Amino acid sequence: AHQWRGVIREYADRLPMLTGAPVVTLHEGGTPLIEAEQLSERVGARVLVKYEGLNPTGSFKDRGMTTAMSMAAKSGAKAVICASTGNTSASAAAYATKAGMTCAVLVPEGKIAMGKLSQAIAHGATLLQVDGNFDGCLDVARKLAETYPVELVNSVNPARIEGQKTASFEIVDALGDAPDIHVLPVGNAGNITAYWRGYREYAEPTEGVSGELAPVATRTPAMWGFQAAGAAPLVHGHPVDDPETIATAIRIGNPASWHQAVQARDDSGGLIDSVTDAEILQAHRLLSSTEGIFVEPASAASVAGLLKQHAAGAVPPGATIVCTVTGHGLKDPQWALRTADGDEVEPVRVTAEAFEVARALGLDG
Ligand code: F0G
């Protein structure tokens, strides 16, 4: 009887930092890499979707939270803190509960999705809504962690990046080698940093826990990152004071891993570009209605970016391309309830009569 054991146990040899730490896990990782036939046809390449919404709390953050919380437990911490646009707080709250720690989360008031808010509360976190945006929340969380006995579990915590790099390992393990291009949404830029590290470590001889590990992949992909147009500091080359986008998860004006994201882009021969909210919603709809994959808006930025590049003629025909979709659609379901024109979707009302239902379905000829 086997079940996926979570990223720390599955990739123990490649996570030396975690050696000797108690393992705090909800069996995160092991997410599906799904062939996206419709998207593939549309862009003339082989497109696969790494569905990170299927992690225990519904986003990729769990990969980094198992490692961050395990390191916090190792150091004897009793409390953790984070700033969040929602998913980090949901994940931190769940893993802190699992570890028997208390958790405080700072979120921008009115700008986090209801599903995420509910998760933090359900898991018993102390939730503070801050009058400000994510960047302000992160400043405060960092200062508190410097001064008080609380562990910071944002992606500036090196254990977070270590855990999140395992997504690249899973992709190479599934495909047999790295893809040509990896596409993902970029907010605070921890994830693009982590993926790039994972791909590099799998393509080079790497010092593991039990000695030198031979390369698993023959190459690394070009990293393509996409920010929301109203929150695209890496594209503009300077911080954005008032980031704005419907993709609240990536509503970030001054990413903490700025330098690492630029390095991932340049070292991989990749790019960081922006997509509009309309493009994001279009990709969101395409994923749910043609691929059967429901994601939150921020996650669709990867697919929106791929479509934008394709329209510009920049997608190499026949390339193998992996798009990470970072969070589940149920986190922020309101976007499914509007038509492409922005009108509210009205359910069809019927009585509980077979003939009436048949008529409504057009089955009665
Ligand atoms: N997609 C989703 C669904 C996210 O929640 C985030 C980040 C990103 C993409 C961007 O990843 O920050 O590593 O570049 N959410 C953070 C949070 C900021 O607080 O949940 P990134």
Name the band, by pLDDT with cuts 50, 70 and 90, for residue 246.
Answer: very high
Average per-residue pLDDT for the chain: 97
Predicted confidence (pLDDT) per residue in 123-168, tens digit: 999 999 999 999 999 999 999 999 999 999 999 999 999 999 999 9
**Structure token digits, residue 252:** 């970030």
Q: What is the mean pLDDT of residues 302-306?
A: 98
Helix count and strand count (H, E) for the chain: 14, 12
Last residue of a domain, one of 157, 188, 212: 157
Q: Percentage of the chain surpassing pLDDT 90?
A: 96
Q: Which helix (H) or strand (E) holds 213?
A: strand 211-213
Q: Are strands 33-35 and 46-51 parallel, antiparallel or unpaired?
A: antiparallel
Q: Are residue 284 and residue 225 in the same domain, yes or no?
A: yes
Residue 50 and residue 71 in one domain:
no
Same domain for 178 and 313: yes
Is residue 360 in some structural domain?
no
Residue range 332-341: mean pLDDT, rounded: 89
Q: Does any ligand 1 atom lie closer than 6 A to the CB of residue 296?
A: yes
Beta strand 222-228 with 181-185 is parallel
Q: What is the Cα–Cα distance from 309 to 6, expressed in whole angstroms? A: 34
Instruction: Please tell me the total count of domains within the chain.
Output: 2
**Separation of alpha carbons 344 and 298, rounded Å:** 21
Question: Is 189 annotated to bind ligand?
Answer: yes
CA of 364 relative to ligand 1 center, distance in Å: 48
Has residue 58 got a pLDDT over 70?
yes
Q: What is the pLDDT of residue 338?
A: 86
Q: Is the CB of residue 6 below 6 angstroms from any atom belonging to ligand 1?
A: no
Residues 239 and 304 in one domain: yes
- Confidence band (pLDDT; 50, 70, 90) for 355? very high
Cβ count within 10 A of residue 155: 28
Q: End of a domain among 157, 178, 209?
A: 157
The domain spanning residue 39 has which CATH number?
3.40.50.1100
| Class of residue 189 by CB neighbours under 10 A (exposed 0-12, middle 13-18, buried 19+) | buried
Given a cut of 70, is residue 365 above it in pLDDT? no
Does 241 share its domain with 321? yes
CA distance 314 to 317: 9
CB 175 within 8 A of CB 219: no
Residue 341 has pLDDT above 90, yes or no: no
pLDDT, residue 137, reads 97
Q: Cα(31)–Cα(168) distance, rounded to whole angstroms?
A: 11
Going by C-alpha positions, the residue among 35, 77, 83 that lies closest to residue 61 is 83
pLDDT band at 317 (very low <50, low <70, confident <90, very high): very high
Instruction: State the distance from the centre of ligand 1 to the C-alpha of 249, rounded, in angstroms.
Output: 5
- 213 & 92 share domain: no
pLDDT greater than 90 at residue 340: no
CA angle 224, 228, 231 (to 5 degrees): 115
Q: Give the distance (Å) from ligand 1 centre to CA of residue 191.
A: 8
Calpha distance 365→359 (Å, rounded)? 8
| Mutation pick for ligand 1 pocket among 31, 50, 52, 59 (CB with most ligand atoms within 8 Å) | 59
Between CA 36 and CA 304 the distance in angstroms is 14
- Do 190 and 311 lie in one domain? The reply is yes
Residues 6+ apart with CB under 8 A from 21: 70, 71, 73, 74
- Closest atom of ligand 1 relative to the 185 alpha carbon: 9
Whether 352 is in a domain gets the answer no
The answer, yes or no, to whether any atom of ligand 1 lies below 6 A from the CB of 189, is yes
Residue 355: how many CB atoms within 10 A of its CB? 11
- Determine the atom of ligand 1 nearest the C-alpha atom of 90: 20
Atom of ligand 1 nearest to the CA of 164: 13
- Cα–Cα distance between 260 and 272 in angstroms, integer? 12
Distance CA 93, CA 101 (A): 9
**Ligand 1: distance of its center to the CA of 167 in Å?**
15
- What gap in Å lies between CA 145 and CA 248, rounded to an integer? 25
Q: What is the pLDDT of residue 339?
A: 83
Whether residue 346 is contained in a domain is answered as: no
What is the C-alpha separation between 252 and 85, in angstroms, rounded?
8
pLDDT at 207: 95
Ligand 1, atom 4: nearest CA belongs to which residue?
249
Angle at 282 between CA 276 and CA 285, to 5 degrees: 145
Distance 106 CA to ligand 1 centre (A): 15
Range of the domain at 39: 7-59+160-337
Sign of the CA dihedral running 312, 313, 314, 315: positive
- Condensed to tens digits (0 to 9), the pLDDT of residues 180-209 reads 999 999 999 999 999 999 999 999 999 999
Identify the pLDDT of residue 233. Answer: 98
- Residue 137 sits in the same domain as residue 263: no
pLDDT over 90 (residue 1): no
- 187 CA: nearest ligand 1 atom: 14
Mean pLDDT score, 244-251? 98
d(CA 95, CA 103): 9
Task: State whether 147 and 97 are in the same domain.
Answer: yes
154 annotated as ligand-binding: no
Distance 54 CA to ligand 1 centre (A): 15
302 lines ligand 1 (CB under 6 A): no
Alpha-carbon gap, residue 172 to 165, rounded angstroms: 12
What confidence tens digit (pLDDT) does each residue in 107-127 have?
999 999 999 999 999 999 999
pLDDT above 70 coverage of the chain, percent: 100
Which H or E element spans position 81?
strand 79-83
Mean pLDDT computed over 274-286: 97
Looking at the structure, do residues 262 and 326 belong to the same domain, yes or no? yes
| 36 in a labelled binding site | no
CA–CA separation, 341 and 230 (whole Å): 20
Q: Is residue 361 part of a domain?
A: no
Cα 108 to ligand 1 centre (Å) = 14
